[in-house]
Amino acid sequence: MAMYRKPIVPDTFVIPQELVLSNCILLPLTINISELDYAAVMDMLDENGNTKYPKHTLYQNTVDLGYHQKEFQKRASFTYTILNNSRDECLGCLYMYPCDDMEYDVEIDMWIRNKYSNIEKEVMEKIKEWIKSVWPFEKPKFIF
């Protein structure tokens, strides 16, 4: 996992601390939800129905979340957890990273657990609207 160094938003930009949608809420990803995130990551399946990360541990997941949390604090990248409205289950994640392609200023990706695929398209569209209307990115590259 690469640690980004440069902020991707101006110091004057107020970073959103949540996005409330009708079927979920996005909050900054922190180590405090490691167990919920780990359950969602382990639920991600490949084309054969096997977990994509068979050797991933809760400890390693917590370490990964610590990197995401630190990068968020440094304004170098932004990762949001996607939780159900009662905030007791992780549905997926949203990532905003510096983009290697100079044509864009940020690369945005996300995933939703397989069992919530029925809301994925709506969540994607709402996130795109949010990025375009709230965030200071001129040329976001959506890879979802």
Q: What is the pLDDT of residue 48?
A: 80
Q: What is the pLDDT of residue 132?
A: 96
**Superfamily of domain 19-142 in the CATH hierarchy:** Gcn5-related N-acetyltransferase (GNAT) (3.40.630.30)
Give the tokens for residue 106: 């940020």
Q: What is the pLDDT of residue 18?
A: 97
Q: What is the pLDDT of residue 104?
A: 96
Please report, as a single letter, which amino acid is at residue 28.
P
Q: How many CB atoms lie within 10 A of CB 79?
A: 23
State the pLDDT confidence band at 94, using cuts at 50, 70 and 90: very high
Compute CA 23 distance to the chain's CA centroid, rounded to the nearest angstrom. 16
- Name the percent of the chain lying above pLDDT 90: 83
* pLDDT at 27 exceeding the cut of 80: yes
Which residue has better confidence, 128 or 53?
Answer: 128
Strands (E), 11-135: 19-20, 25-28, 78-83, 90-97, 106-112
Which residue has better confidence, 82 or 43?
Answer: 82
Averaged confidence pLDDT in the chain: 93
pLDDT digits (tens, 9 = 90+) for 57-89: 999 999 999 999 999 999 999 999 999 999 999
Q: What is the pTM of this model?
A: 0.93
pLDDT digits (tens, 9 = 90+) for 101-136: 999 999 999 999 989 999 999 999 999 999 999 999
| CA–CA gap between residue 75 and residue 58 (Å, rounded) | 25
